Structure formats: structure tokens, C-alpha cells
């Protein structure tokens, strides 16, 4: 590596993405914790299950981009609170299907509008075109990171 090449952390894209993600997640998590007693990880599980009928833990892990241990802890806490139920998978006896209970659906119905208001506040000042571009670029970055991780 040439001697004149230096890493400036404040300009390093992976760092910038991490800082933006962490700050956004902390801001949103405070709201979910204060109003609903949910961690950010529990909210992600509820959000994914709110848009699905039933999912395996493996599908939930893939959908949330969280590791298996984090998903397992979040699911266990939500089951203990009566917000998620686990039922035996009919065609695969080794796995279980997870779904929101009626109480979990009620929490989802309350939290989803809050989440959408947070998103709107975060994107306030961005034009519709900028939001579309940002979304497209983030999806491309996610895909590329996944490709690089597979190599």
C-alpha cells in the first residue's frame, strides 16, 4: 500500500453506514421501548411476522438480517409475553412455525403507524426522487455486501 494512503474513518463508507444505522436504531428503539416495552430486535420480529402468515425461525432470521441467537432471544421473550406463538410445522416435524397472537397483532397494529411516522420524520427534507435513489443505492449496497460475504 502506498505510504500516502490513509484511512479517514469519518469518510469511510462502512463506518458512515454503521453510524447512521446505530443512531437511527437507537432513536427508534427508545420510542418502542418507552411506549410498548419492545427492544428493537423484538420489534423487528413483530414487524416481519405482521406482514406474514407464519414463518420458521430460519425464515425470520433471513428476513430480519439478524443472527440466530438474537432472533431466538427476541422470539422467546415475545412468546413469554404472549405476543408470538410457536406451532409445530405440519410437513417438517423438526421445525416450528411462528406467528403473532391476537395480542401480538394488536401491538403490531399500534406500533406500525409509529414506525411509519419515524420514517417520515427521518426522511423529512428529502425529495421523493432522493428517497427513491437512497433506497435503490442501499439495496445495491446490501446485495453487493451479500455477494462479497459469499466469496
State the DSSP code for 84.
Answer: E
**Does residue 1 lie within any of the structural domains?**
no
**Does residue 25 lie within any of the structural domains?**
yes
pLDDT at 1: 55
pLDDT at 128: 97
pLDDT at 145: 93
pLDDT at 108: 95
**Does residue 65 lie within any of the structural domains?**
yes
**Does residue 119 lie within any of the structural domains?**
yes
pLDDT at 151: 81
**Does residue 89 lie within any of the structural domains?**
yes
Q: Which structural domain, as residue segments, surrounds residue 65?
A: 13-150
State the DSSP code for 3.
Answer: T
Q: Distance between CA atoms of 69 and 75, rounded to whole angstroms? A: 10
Q: For cell 462502512, name the residue.
A: 14
Q: Distance between CA atoms of 87 and 100, rounded to whole angstroms? A: 11
pLDDT at 2: 63
The pairing of beta strand 84-88 with beta strand 96-100 = antiparallel
**Does residue 135 lie within any of the structural domains?**
yes
Number of domain units in the chain: 1
pLDDT at 92: 63
**Does residue 44 lie within any of the structural domains?**
yes
Q: Distance between CA atoms of 59 and 139, rounded to whole angstroms? A: 19
**Does residue 82 lie within any of the structural domains?**
yes
pLDDT at 5: 83
Average pLDDT per block of 10 residues along the chain, 151 residues long: 79 94 90 90 94 89 90 96 89 81 96 93 97 97 93 81
Output the pTM of the full model. 0.82
CATH no. for residue 137?
A: 1.10.10.10
Give me the helices (H) in 1-151, please: 13-36, 40-50, 57-64, 68-80, 102-123, 128-150
The three cell numbers of residue 73 are 432471544
pLDDT at 65: 85
Amino acid at each position: 500500500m502506498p505510504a500516502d494512503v490513509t484511512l479517514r474513518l469519518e469518510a469511510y463508507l462502512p463506518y458512515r453506514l454503521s453510524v447512521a444505522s446505530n443512531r437511527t436504531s437507537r432513536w427508534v428503539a427508545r420510542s418502542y421501548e418507552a411506549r410498548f416495552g419492545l427492544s428493537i430486535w423484538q420489534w423487528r420480529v413483530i414487524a416481519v411476522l405482521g406482514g406474514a402468515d407464519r414463518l420458521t425461525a430460519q425464515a425470520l432470521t433471513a428476513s430480519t438480517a439478524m443472527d440466530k441467537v438474537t432472533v431466538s432471544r427476541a422470539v422467546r421473550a415475545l412468546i413469554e409475553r404472549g405476543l408470538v406463538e410457536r406451532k409445530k410445522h405440519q410437513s417438517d416435524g423438526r421445525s416450528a412455525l411462528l406467528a403473532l397472537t391476537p395480542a401480538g397483532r394488536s401491538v403490531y397494529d399500534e406500533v406500525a403507524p409509529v414506525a411509519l411516522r419515524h420514517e417520515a420524520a427521518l426522511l423529512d427534507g428529502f425529495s421523493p426522487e432522493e428517497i427513491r435513489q437512497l433506497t435503490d443505492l442501499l439495496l445495491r449496497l446490501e446485495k453487493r455486501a451479500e455477494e462479497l460475504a459469499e466469496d
